Chain A
Amino acid sequence: MSAPWTLDGFEAVIGLEVHAELQTRSKIFCGCSATFGADPNTNVCPVCLGMPGVLPVLNRRVVEFAIRAGLATNCSIAPRSRFARKNYFYPDLPKGYQISMYEAPICVGGWLDLVVEDTPRRIGLTRIHMEEDTGKNIHDAHASGSLVDFNRSTVPLLEIVSEPDMRNPAEAGAYLRTLRSILQYLEICDGNMEEGSFRCDANVSVRPLGATTLGTKVEIKNMNSFRNVERAIAYELTRQVRATQTREAIVQETRLWDVDREETRSMRSKESAHDYRYFPEPDLQPLVIDAAWVDDIRAAMPELPEARCARFVRDHGLSVYDADVLTQRKDVADYFEAGIVAGASPKELANWITTELLRIVREQKLDEQLVIREWPLTPVQLARLSRLVEQGTVNRNTAKKLIPRLLGTGVDPETLVASEGLGQVSDRGALEQAVADVIARNPDQVAQFRAGKDKVLGFLVGQIMKATGGKANPQLVGELLRSALAG
């Protein structure tokens, strides 16, 4: 186990609640599009606006996604579950209640295996349930009042609740990264924290080391990145220990993370908390799930990141670090394997992907997509480029410089190299001539080198590369230069 967080004899107890917005085409209880970013109140109908007399009809695809998530996190799938109404008034909640699940969730009792600082950890999952999202209040668009956009109303969410099993902020971060990666592998959630499609609330308490009972928990909201989650938890843990030490009572409350001031602030206490008056949703029948359906879904599950990472280490000889980077996203791992099929060597291709491809993906914000289908550089292109370097046809620098010219073209790098004469110069005779010219033109530097200033060698290599238009084989140049200077 990674080192638990401790402070003055207290330890941390952390549980997380994740809300993952599901990437179904339509909403959970009506046929409206669930896509993000449409003009306000255009993806709406009487059902998701909560008009009089309308009724919800459950989207079967959402149930399938919930089952996938449950199977991937080792949960049992309840043969019979039930939606419930969570009642409260707010303008973004058109019916005055949210349809959620309460006493009878669809998935219960799973776990997630993490690697934190190279050590494995198992975190329990209490439950996963389905619910509908709310609309969004907009307060600054209109001078005389607030507006509400209901596009997001009734978009499907999974709420994934962990056991209070985490003992330091880094574990919380690792749990979220692992969970997000799994949901992305399942192609059910894009995991975008900034846009709110993957949201996290943390339940945090402290207790004396060795205690088995739980301390008073505080819920933290408003953390929109993994880094913020870890920092908010760390701040809150310290605050609670200090409060305990000064005999200040810790109250059960909800606190908001203020990212600018880097502190948590009280939002509402338990006393002022809502009584949600949960009761079974009478407009929806109890959800009965056929075991055969669960079996079908299980049979169609993709290989998950943990298994794929282990396979990459085993079959492709990659380091655990590289394999982990490559398998965090399913599309990247698929890309890697397509490149291997196209003939690249695993280590070389892994380098190109982790250094070059993923940088471009981030720059072009392609990582915001659930699945990248249109790559700027195809796996075949990158595999060919990687092979050209391995075979010594071009040097690494030339190859890197070619990438911007290949983006979005689909052009075979070999064709580009041939047509532009960019092939690496490994002709010993031609390079010997270039070496001799550079030595002749730079007598001062030659003298310095011979006086023991080794650093000058780099300058001389640079001059030779320049003279050959960057195409010279750098190893051969170094070798020839040393022997010429020694002679």
Chain B
Amino acid sequence: MSALHDLTARDAAARVRRREVSATELTRAALSRITAVEPQVGAILTICEREALAAAEIIDRRVAAGEDPGLLAGVPVGLKDNICTAGIRTTASSRILEAFVPPYDATVAARLQQAGAVLVGKLNCDEFAMGSSTENAALGVTRNPWDPERVAGGSSGGSAAAVAAREVHASLGSDTGGSIRLPASFCGVVGMKPTYGRVSRYGVIAFASSLDQVGPLARDVGDAALVLQAIAGHDPADGTSSQRPVPSYVAALEGGVRGLRLGLPREYFVEGMQPDVEASVRAAVRTLEAQGATVEPVSLPHTEYAIATYYLITSAEASSNLARYDGVRYGLRAAGGGTLAEMYERSRAAGFGPEVKRRIMLGTYALSAGYYDAYYLKAQQVRTLIRRDFEQAFAHVDALIAPVAPSTAFRLGERVDDPLTMYLSDILTISLNLAGLPGISLPCGLDAAGLPIGLQLIGKAFDEATLLRIAAAYEAASDWTARSPIP
């Protein structure tokens, strides 16, 4: 029998429900795995040992009493540290919230808990989820479990690395422009960005409110479906969450791809793409064709404007969302007296890192009187065109298939001084955030250096089920998921 920390989430939960293993045993196994590998990964900002063991004990008592503790009974999980957890510090990887302990749970945290999951750690990310490598993180460095000299991707780098390193069985990340899919791809795990409005944003520290969406990172497609099932659905505390009923994602895994039409967006095979990335993705396309899917080229003609549009809109929203970190009520307040303006300036200067400051300035500028029409408003218009591109493509096909990123994981420090190159890491992921659509990243190969390559599937709004069905079919026909880089 493999080690407990190697089990998939659904296998672990099934064993807990069958009383073959206790939640406490699973939790202790996760904690000892963390102790063993965390020094070389650095995925976790806060290890919640005491709370986790207490939660596991409650699950075990419920199982003993004959209750069903839920889909994720006793499964150790981690949350990106921009997801608020009552009584457990939540930092968004920022100095300004380094000591912040929320008195409330994010809806997704509460839903995982209601499904029986056990929170063992809060996971590192780029500060306020702004970044593609988890290097804009004020409180620690996360290394790629496949190569400690490489980034884990970002911004949900800790969420991907912790799953890849088998410190947790599954995790949640948030995806504003690729922040789940890119690190999932770099770390060789499955990551899903659901449709905007499918999962509650309540209690998730906002970066860009009109794009942010929480989703699962997992060892395989089945686990991703299970975790999504636990968190999806309307939340009265989030006015942008959808009232649509949630289908069974687990049931959707069975369908196969026969008769499905897949579109290959020609703009997503960009110049300068790493050749083995393109080769692996094209091989994956052939695998799906062999399973009975049909593939046709499609065009998303406004793709080239996506990065500019994305940075205008997200920075504008962020400049407003981050105004609340002013040192008045919670978070860092710079020492020393002075005027109100000085307190604001010094607290924010000391509390925010350089990338966050860059985006606040960019966003403030884009919303300023006299510039609003040329920047923010124009970006919203282009956003509409980008959304229409997808609508037109989806008139012909059921899903799109593409790489996640032009390259595999790059070296730590390689792009930190070059924000524009860093921004290009998201070129294949941000368009669907602008359109609010769901996307999934799953492993489809290793490059020459032995680093994971990600395959991206993009779906129609609220059609996560079809994405999971295609991903499951590919996974069954290939051999790339559930590999562990660290024995």
Contacts and interface: CB of A to CB of B under 8 A. Distances in A.
B3 interface: no
A91 B341 CA distance: 10
Interface stretch (A16-24, A46-54, A182-190, A237-245): A46-54
B324 A50 contact: yes
A56 interface: yes
A100 B384 CA distance: 24
A97 B328 CA distance: 14
Given A96-B320, A277-B364, A53 B205 contact: yes
B471 to A, nearest CB: 29
Interface in A267-302: 275, 277-279, 282-285
A57 B239 contact: yes
A418 B28 CA distance: 88
Contact of A277 (B84, B202, B367): B367
A87 interface: yes
Most A-side CB within 10 Å, residue of B90, B97, B323, B326: B323
A52 B97 CA distance: 9
A91 B328 contact: yes
Given A87-B323, A94-B324, A279 B102 contact: no
B69 interface: no
A95 B84 CA distance: 17
A98 to B, nearest CB: 11
A173 B458 CA distance: 61
Given A96-B320, A275-B369, A54 B202 contact: yes
B100 to A, nearest CB: 7
B42 to A, nearest CB: 23
B92 interface: yes
B224 to A, nearest CB: 23
Given A275-B369, A277-B320, A277-B368, A54 B326 contact: no
Interface in B300-336: 316-317, 319-320, 322-326, 328-330
A225 to B, nearest CB: 30
Contact of A282 (B205, B210, B324): B210
Interface in B188-213: 201-206, 208-210
Nearest to A95: B324
B390 interface: no
Nearest to A52: B205
A78 interface: no
Contacts of A461: none
Interface in A117-141: none
Contact of B84 (A49, A53, A56, A96): A53
Contacts of A87: 319-320, 323, 367
A58 interface: yes
Interface string A42-70: 00001001111111111000000000000
Most A-side CB within 10 Å, residue of B92, B236, B330: B330
A58 B239 contact: yes
Given A58-B239, A282-B209, A283-B239, A52 B320 contact: no
B249 interface: no
Contacts of B92: 52
B interface majority secondary structure: loop
A91 B340 contact: yes
A85 B240 contact: no
Nearest to A274: B369
Interface in B232-247: 236-240
B330 A53 contact: no
Given A55-B238, A275-B368, A89 B206 contact: no
A53 B204 contact: yes
A85 B320 contact: yes
A52 B372 contact: no
B103 interface: yes
A372 interface: no
A interface majority secondary structure: loop
A148 interface: yes
Interface string B15-30: 0000000000000000
A56 to B, nearest CB: 7
Tier of interface size on chain A: 20 to 34
Nearest to B313: A282
A53 B367 contact: no
B234 to A, nearest CB: 12
B344 interface: yes
Interface in B363-390: 364, 367-369, 372, 376
Contacts of B317: 279, 282
Most B-side CB within 10 Å, residue of A57, A58, A97: A57
A85 B319 CA distance: 12
A283 B364 contact: no
B106 interface: yes
A51 B102 contact: yes
B276 to A, nearest CB: 39
A347 to B, nearest CB: 55
Given A91-B340, A279-B372, A52 B100 contact: yes
Interface string B72-103: 00000000001110000010100001001011
A57 B201 CA distance: 12
A51 B330 contact: yes
Contact of A53 (B203, B236, B340): B203
Nearest to A283: B209
A42 to B, nearest CB: 15
B202 to A, nearest CB: 5
A89 B344 contact: yes
A288 to B, nearest CB: 13
B239 A284 contact: yes
A259 B266 CA distance: 71
A94 B316 CA distance: 19
Contacts of B202: 53-55
A414 B330 CA distance: 65
B240 to A, nearest CB: 6
Nearest to A86: B320
Contact of A97 (B83, B323, B369): B323
Nearest to B209: A282
Interface string A92-112: 001111000000000000000
A88 to B, nearest CB: 9
A284 B197 CA distance: 12
A55 B208 CA distance: 13
A137 B97 CA distance: 24
A283 B84 contact: no
B324 A279 contact: no
Given A89-B344, A275-B369, A55 B239 contact: yes
A275 B206 CA distance: 23
A52 B240 contact: no
A286 B30 CA distance: 45
B323 A57 contact: no
A278 B377 CA distance: 11
Contacts of A282: 208-210, 240, 317
Given A52-B92, A53-B84, A96 B324 contact: yes
B237 A57 contact: yes
Nearest to A90: B340
Most B-side CB within 10 Å, residue of A54, A56, A95: A54
Contacts of A279: 316-317, 320, 367, 372, 376
Contact of B236 (A52, A57, A95, A278): A57
A46 B104 contact: yes
Contacts of B210: 282
Given A46-B103, A52-B90, A52-B102, 15 more contacts: A50-B329, A51-B104, A51-B324, A52-B205, A55-B237, A55-B238, A55-B240, A56-B239, A87-B367, A91-B340, A148-B329, A277-B372, A278-B367, A282-B210, A282-B317
23 contacts: A50-B329, A52-B102, A52-B205, A53-B83, A55-B202, A58-B239, A87-B323, A87-B367, A89-B323, A91-B326, A94-B329, A95-B323, A96-B320, A96-B322, A148-B328, A275-B369, A279-B317, A279-B376, A282-B208, A282-B240, A282-B317, A283-B209, A283-B240
Q: Give the 9 A-B residue pairs with the shortest CB-CB distance, closest first.
A: A96-B323, A277-B367, A282-B210, A282-B209, A53-B203, A53-B205, A52-B205, A50-B324, A275-B369
